[in-house]
Structure 1
Amino acid sequence: MKRRLYLLMLAGAGLFSCDKDFLQRDPKTSLTEETFFKSVSDLETYSNGFYNFVGANYSDIFSDNIALNTGSSETDNLIRGGITAATVGGWNNWGDLRRINLMLKNVGQATGDPTQIRHFTGIARFFRALFYYDMVKRYGDVPWYSTVLGTGDEKLLYKAKDPRTVVVDSVMKDLEYAVANIQASGTNTRVTRWAALTILARTALHEGTYRKYHTELNLQGTAQAFLERAASASLTIMTDGGFALSADYRGLFTSNNLDANKEVIFLQKNSQSNGIANNTHTVLDWQWALSGQLADEFLMADGTPYTSQANYATKTFVDMFKNRDPRLTETIMSPGFSTTPSTNAPYLIKPGFGGLLQVKFYPRDPSLRGGWNLNYTDLPIYRFGEVLLIHAEAKAELGTLTQSDLDKTVGLLRTRVGMPKLDLAAANAAPDAYLAVAYPGVTGANKGVILEIRRERRVELACEGFRYDDLFRWKAGKLLEKNSQGIYVPALGALDVTGDGVEDIAILEAQGKEEPLASVPEAIRAKLVKYYLTEGSFYLSNGTSGKILFTKDKSQPRQFVEPKYYARPIPLQQLVLNPNLIQPSGWE
């Protein structure tokens, strides 16, 4: 019975068991492989279902960019020792692969324009590459299937895992086919050649850096080819794609119409008239806030590190935003931020989350946020800003980066927000000490500029879902061990958090202990929103002053076990169903 269940898991998806938006019709006769896949139109209709496999990210929930997350998180469970083969999820999305392989099996039946047939074949192979590289990032070695499996294919169904090198080579072949055959023209709501090139560049950068820094794989000698492909693919987009940075950084994440935006390569389109919406209003003060570690990496307005100031760690909430990279206030809620333009009433921080609330992706226009899953802002899935960072990092890792390369990548990103450009010689002459401690694996002549490019990725792409993958490919998972920090609190008592010089909240030891408020005028004291350390969710690093820290990190200490935690275990029941599977290293 167990073996039968495993067969059904892989092969049980029917021909058209797709998402509800696929083929919204009730045919009088059943559609089969023999009657479908006959035309270009059939291929297009079927491949439209693949778009449900991708979507925009608008948080960094699984990374050190988050201070506190009150929702569920597999990564949080992992670093607190709560993940085992018996408790982990995953390994259950093979039906998506089967849908893709089903089309690739039958595409030869289609008649029509060969260019169009190759285009939609490329679309299918693009999505297969996405599926498999996600599996590689999660498990390392996985079984590669390029055919549709039936219940009689027991040898394939019960095969062992294929090596990472074999699977990644197949992923790259799929992406190269996609780049060569998917049409360049089209809207940014559909996969074009430029979207395929973006994922080719992203995958090549990820794999190249992963192999370089994860020396336990003994694949360092193969990293260069991937880095070179990341550099060349990104350069093709830069020179031939017709893309450009938007002048409006905020608008990339809060606009209701990005159709014509030259920075957006691939878009999640939302529309009130079409009843398609997102849930981005939840980024502000729902289940998470951003970390002090993220805030500290934003530069000063003059391009110098914030962390090079002697008193950076003791700056108050109001002072920490002064003279900083403008992207800080576009990412983290600054003093005086208001969600109600009609009244301009400032929104108050909540110390229980650390005080650093996310505003990136928050719809500023109240008419675009209507409640749960009723926000109508467009969301970029792939954007040109990432491509520039891929190019800079790949060339820096290769040792071929020039000042000209920096100027047309990181330089453009910084110029957009009025920040000074990055100087290659200066960065390498004096690598930032704060970043060097965070990334001890970075060495060599380009150490300084690699560190600065990592800073730029963290700042520019914050809350877009990249940070977790970046930590893993750089072998920097140990950063997840560090206890998250919130704002600095100079003393128990009243605090001004709106920047108008009037106190708005108070942090006190316990109810009834209001001595720190004795000098606060009664009119102000009556309006204070009070928080008490005895409530138990947070504490101050020095007892009655210091950084906000979280009691969860005391009761459930963090630990990141290298290299074990760079992969997830396969759920135990899957090893029972297929005894030829073995766990990733460390999970045996």
Structure 2
Amino acid sequence: MLSRYYTPLVIVVLAITILTGCKKNFLEREPQTSINPKYFFKTTADLETYSNGFYEMTGITALNDVMERKNDVFSDNLSVYLGGSEIDNMIRGKISATTVTPKSWNWENLRRINYMLNNLQDVQGDQATVAHFTGIARFYRADFYFEMLKRYGDVPYYTTVLEATDEAALYKKQDPRALVADSIRADLEYAVSHVKADGTKSRITKWAALAMLSRFCLYEGTFRKYHDELGLQASATPFLERAVSASKEIMNGGFSIYNTGKKGEDYQKIFTSADLSSNKEILFYRDFDQALNRSNDTHYVFDWQWSISKSMADTYLMADGTPFTSSPGWNTKTYTEVFNNRDPRMAVTIMPPGFSTTLGRPNLIRPTFGGYPQIKFYAIDPNTKVYTEYSDLPIFRYAETLLINAEAKAELGSITQGDLDQTINLLRNRAGVSPLNMSLANANPDPVLVNMYPQVSSGNKGVLLEIRRERNVELACEGFRFNDLLRWKAGQLLERPTQGIYVAKLGAMDVTGDGVEDIAILESPEKTDPLAGVPAAVKANLVMYYLNSNSFYLSNQTSGFIMFPENVNTPRSFNEAKYYYFPIPFQQVLLNPKLVQPKGW
């Protein structure tokens, strides 16, 4: 903590070079390679210049972080992930205070924010504009501490720039979660009250602040409700109530669900459009532009290091609103069958049979990944350069606001059918799925969801479970799932062995839906009996996969669900006593012995 906290601030370089006059005073000037409040923080233009640097800090708007939120690789929604993952290491017992990455215990960004907030006394200009940029700084301080809260729970809370002589503050123990959470909320309330509502959607506005406030209050309210070990359950209600009122203010702000009647296509365009600036569903987005050479890497979501899990695929409803898991033979449907009559969002999130990235030959699935490739965020555009994308990416969208409003009301026990019609059913209507009926849902809770979330026990059990389903479906691959499991105290879902598609038998399979076999799964290259009867021309073009490669196996040996040896060799296990937080890097505890590891660590 200490060494990183004192990293010099070099966000804006003031190159002031006077070529004529005043040369005799040159050596008397303050160095201009870093911000000096003696010369800076004098005008609202200074505040704007300085606060522009916040958008590229680690956090909600930074490019790398936006990229990380275009998938659910750290959750049960993925069948396999080949990249490195702290979460995967944790649930396999491979993480400790000495091995956890130190990068998250980094206080440099907080120092940058507090540096501005501590130097506002000499700013001249319109005070509403001063308050606007102050609100943006406090928004980012809230964002910083929200991430720290989610990772560690209790953390030291600072509102001032610390110097080397501030030993009492530098070496203090963590502040309690309640203080940190109240401080986050206070910063966001200030932002909501002072940041201007007008302006571009690629910059922080009042609407972005309201979206963050509602997101945070839902998180903290549900975390306190379900984590009874904190002893904060009595204080959950005010957070949930604020989640309702903040989301309701957005709902009254002129936003709407993007819906032209094209079902899945409308949903897909939210994540693949070149310009989201005028889309009424968008509250805040990251702008990418080919002309300005601002690109992202959304191309990599498709078939690179991960695929969607069977449990996520099973979550999508039938188009008539009934659970897929209640339909006859649901658990033995093949890849080409599971997409029939489903929620249209499924086929624009998970690659369906016949999907093509080249507008030519359909792409094939890879059993080694599980067989359900992600296509959400993949921009299908023949003019797009390979591995480079320029589609805008949403950060806050109206759909999330509706989900927050419905969930918070359901947790409070105040939700009505009218509330569902103004929230969940707007999303289902866009997708072309039958609406959620509150009475029917509560009378017949889906047993699969009941098994997934045993903590839910309210009178609105059925409807709350369906809201969780809707949240997972609507926000799939947007980076929410892991933190949702934490706040619901549903970490046990992370220890379940993941599965891929169902394979009826060894041999050749049609995975493009044209009736011709495309791939084959065999026990080994030598055991080709399952291919007997396959025409030679078809056999010559088969892409072959072998069980003895040790990259995957079938749950019933020669049939069943695709599964992965890693889950057998190094079983997943979610330790309820400690895994809702990460350990503080051991080096930081050595530097400050007053720091206490989160419970269990």
Normalised-by-shorter TM-score class: over 0.9
| 8 Å CA contact 1:194, 1:241 repeated in 2 | no
- Residue 9 of structure 1: how far off its partner (Å): 2.5
Instruction: Give 1:92 deviation, angstroms.
Output: 3.1
- The equivalent residue for 1:467 is 481
For the pair 1:357 / 2:373, whether they are aligned, the reply is: yes
Return the alpha-carbon distance in structure 1 between the equivalents of residues 259 and 162 of structure 2. 46
Which residue of structure 2 aligns with residue 33 of structure 1? 37
Letter in 2 for 1:61: V
Give the CA RMSD over aligned residues: 1.1
SS of residue matched to 1:575:
helix
| CA-to-aligned-CA distance 1:153-185 (integer Å, 9 cap, x gap) | 111000110000001001100000000000000
**Aligned position for 1:331:** 349
Q: How many residues align?
A: 572
Q: SS state of the match for residue 135, structure 2?
A: helix
Match of 1:435 in 2: 449
The aligned residue for residue 111 of structure 2 is 98
C-alpha change, 1:296 and 1:244, in structure 2 (3 Å) is closer
Map Cα deviations across residues 435-483 of structure 1 (whole Å, 9 max, x no partner).
Answer: 0000000002100000000000000000000001100000000000001
CA contact (8 A) 1:494 1:503 kept: yes
Give CA-to-partner distance per residue, 1:322-376, whole Å, 9 cap, x none. 00000000100000000012xx2100001000000000000111323432xx211
Deviations 1:475-531 (A, max 9, x none): 000000001100000000000000001000000000111100011011101110000
Which whole-Å CA distance do the structure 2 matches of 1:396 and 1:163 have between them? 28
Conservation of the 8 A alpha-carbon contact between 2:257 and 2:426: no
Q: Give the match for residue 530 of structure 1.
A: 544
Closer/same/farther in 2, CA of residues 212 and 369 from structure 1, 3 Å limit: farther
Q: Tell me which moved more, 81-90 or 537-546.
A: 81-90
- In structure 1, the partner of 2:28 is none
Contact residue 226 and residue 488 of structure 2 kept, 8 A: yes
Match of 1:154 in 2: 167
Unaligned 5+ residue runs, structure 1? 1-5
Once the 2 structures are TM-superposed, how far is the Cα of residue 299 of structure 1 from its aligned partner?
A: 0.2
AA aligned opposite 2:533: S
Shift of 1:241: 4.2
Q: Tell me the SS of whatever aligns to 1:274.
A: coil
2:105–2:585 CA contact under 8 A, matched in 1: no
1:71 equivalent to 2:87? Answer: no
- The answer on 1:88 being equivalent to 2:100 is yes
SS of equivalent residue, structure 2 residue 311: helix
Which residue of 2 is the match for residue 447 of structure 1? Answer: 461
Matched, 1:347 2:329: no
Q: Give the corresponding residue for 1:192.
A: 205
SS of the aligned residue for 2:118 comes to helix
For 2:271, what is the secondary structure of its paired residue? Answer: helix
Change (3 A) 1:271 1:471: same
1:265-310 deviations in Å (ceiling 9; x for gaps): 1111001111100000100111111100000000001110000124
Are 2:105 and 2:584, in contact at CA under 8 Å, matched by a contact in 1?
A: no
Alignment partners' CA distance in 2, 1:69 and 1:27: 50
* Separation in 2, partners of 1:581, 1:266: 36
- Work out whether residues 506 and 520 of structure 2, in 8 Å CA contact, stay in contact via their aligned partners in 1: yes
Partner of 2:263: none
Contact 1:202–1:390 (Cα < 8 Å) also in 2: yes
Deviation at 1:246, TM superposition (A): 4.3
1:14 and 2:22 are equivalent in the alignment: no
Q: SS in structure 2 opposite 1:237?
A: helix
1:291 and 2:285 equivalent? no
- After TM superposition, the structure 1 = structure 2 runs for residues 365-384 of structure 1, keeping only pairs within 5 Å, are 365-371=381-387, 374-384=388-398
| CA shift for structure 1 position 190 | 0.3
Are residue 134 (structure 1) and residue 138 (structure 2) matched?
Answer: no
Structure 2 equivalent of residue 518 of structure 1:
532
Partner residue in 1 for 2:252 = 239
Contact preservation (8 Å) 2:41, 2:119: yes
Distance 1:451 1:7 in 2: 44
Counterparts of 1:243 and 1:149, CA distance in 2: 44
Unaligned runs of 5+ in 2: 18-30, 261-265
1:579 paired with 2:579, answer: no
Q: Distance in 1 between matches of 2:251 and 2:139?
A: 20
Counterpart AA for 2:479: G
* Kept in 1: contact 2:79–2:308 (CA 8 A): yes
Whether 1:503 aligns to 2:528 is no
User: What letter corresponds to residue 297 of structure 2 in structure 1?
Assistant: N
Match of 2:575 among 525, 536, 561: 561
Cα distance in 1 between the residues matched to 2:179 and 2:328: 50
Describe the SS at the equivalent of 2:473: helix
Could you tell me how far apart the structure 1 residues matched to 2:76 and 2:498 are? 7
Structure 2 counterpart of 1:198, one-letter code: A
- Structure 1 counterpart of 2:180, which letter? V
- Aligned pair 1:114/2:114, yes or no? no
Q: Which amino acid aligns with 1:69?
A: Y
- Deviant stretches of 4+, over 4 Å: none
Letter in 2 for 1:398: L
Q: Does the 8 Å contact 1:246/1:263 carry over to 2?
A: no
8 Å Cα contact 1:189-1:268 kept in structure 2: yes
Contact 1:207-1:223 at 8 Å conserved across structures: yes
- Is contact 1:8–1:151 with CA below 8 Å preserved after alignment? no
Letter in 2 for 1:446: N
| Cα distance, 1:27–1:241 mapped onto 2, change above 3 Å | farther
Q: Secondary structure, in 3 states, of the residue corresponding to 2:383?
A: helix
Question: Percent same amino acid among aligned pairs?
Answer: 55
In the TM superposition, what whole-angstrom CA distance separates every residue of 1:403-462 from its partner, at most 9, and x where no partner exists? 110001000000001111100111111111110000000002100000000000000000
Aligned partner of residue 483 in structure 2, secondary structure: helix
CA distance in 2, matches of 1:323, 1:257: 31
Residue 265 of structure 1 corresponds to: 283
Secondary structure in 1 matching 2:489: coil
State the distance in 2 between where 1:497 and 1:563 align. Answer: 43
